[in-house]
Amino acid sequence: MSFKEELQKKTELTEEIIRKFLPKEEGFAENMAKAMNYSMCAGGKRIRPMLLMETCRMFGGDLRLAEPFMAAMEMIHTHSLIHDDLPAIDNDDYRRGRLTTHKVFGEAMGVLSGAALLNYAYECMFRAFTLDPGNPSVAKAASVMAGKTGIYGMLGGQSVDVENDGKPMNREMLDYIYSHKTSALIEAAMMTGAILAGADDGQVAVIEQAAGKIGLAFQIQDDILDVTSTSEELGKPVHSDEKNHKVTYVTLFGIEEASRMVSELTEEAVSLLESLRKENEFLINLAGYLAGRRK
């Protein structure tokens, strides 16, 4: 089976797992559930839950225990996209090729459904405690997810990004934003997969390093695609960084140097993963795919 075929198969499996955990569209809060599910079912690459699944698989873990964390991972990520698109932040009309949540359900429901998804993510994670009562790895994994999501992770990075939007920025601050806003969730995904599979602290530390490099490469490639891709390919507006006067790796270093950095970071991440001497060729290939993606 080719990598492309395997990626398609694993994307479908990941999608199937995520949909099992979606809220029911019923009762007085039916419209909120519809808004949550509209965003969750809008497509996307499902990279983060897939990374969680494949890292868990690499260490020989029980994927049944990973499933609630996979769903939670995508809910946390989707909540951040809903809020990013709001008029108060990026004010985007399209995401994943269709109208953003606030354009369909209104700004208030955009705010509420994003917050509800973040909370529902933790509800899903907590289900893992009943799947394997007494397993300390479940609490440890949940703690990592919480830490990488909050003020010391994704939300901290987003706050610095919003506060400095359109302002001059040096590489140190940009790296802080990228390592928190983007890398933190990829670190959370891969670390969680490893922890649930019983990896030791040293192995989890290597996974965190590798994931951080994958996340940074992913975000720099995003910067490049904002300049070189099309709205049709990306499913969202291009040249938005330029429109919003955002400092990116492309504005600081140019496309050629930014591309070189993506390749270097990916090679370093792959080297770290290979140093663990654990078999998962798909995970290695996935890291390379993310670095060279066109959308």
Q: In this model, does residue 271 exceed pLDDT 60?
A: yes
Q: Which two structure tokens, joined as six digits, stand for 203?
A: 């192995």
pLDDT per residue as tens digits for the range 186-217? 999 999 999 999 999 999 999 999 999 999 99
User: What pLDDT is recorded for position 292?
Assistant: 80
More confident residue, 212 or 1: 212
pLDDT per residue as tens digits for the range 7-21? 999 999 999 999 999
pLDDT per residue as tens digits for the range 36-66? 999 999 988 999 999 999 999 999 999 999 9
User: What pLDDT is recorded for position 96?
Assistant: 84
User: What pLDDT is recorded for position 245?
Assistant: 66
Residue written as tokens 């602290």?
Answer: 201
User: What pLDDT is recorded for position 267?
Assistant: 96
User: What pLDDT is recorded for position 146?
Assistant: 97
More confident residue, 292 or 262: 262
Q: Which two structure tokens, joined as six digits, stand for 136?
A: 């300390």
- What phi and psi values does residue 170 have, to the nearest 5 degrees? -95, 175
Q: Which two structure tokens, joined as six digits, stand for 8?
A: 């398609």
| For residues 262-272, average pLDDT | 96
Q: In this model, does residue 236 exceed pLDDT 80?
A: no
Pairwise CA distance, residues 92 & 252, whole Å: 24
| For residues 163-180, average pLDDT | 94
Q: In this model, does residue 232 exceed pLDDT 70?
A: no
Q: Which two structure tokens, joined as six digits, stand for 270?
A: 């792959």
Q: Which helix (H) or strand (E) holds 263?
A: helix 255-275
User: What pLDDT is recorded for position 1?
Assistant: 83
Binned at pLDDT 50, 70 and 90, residue 293 comes out as confident
Q: In this model, does residue 238 exceed pLDDT 70?
A: no
User: What pLDDT is recorded for position 260?
Assistant: 96
Q: In this model, does residue 67 exceed pLDDT 90?
A: yes
| For residues 168-183, average pLDDT | 95
Binned at pLDDT 50, 70 and 90, residue 241 comes out as low
User: Residue type at 103?
Assistant: K
What structural domains and CATH numbers belong to the chain? Answer: 3-292 (1.10.600.10)
| For residues 240-257, average pLDDT | 81
Which of 284, 137, 133, 144 has its CA nearest to residue 200?
A: 137
Binned at pLDDT 50, 70 and 90, residue 237 comes out as low
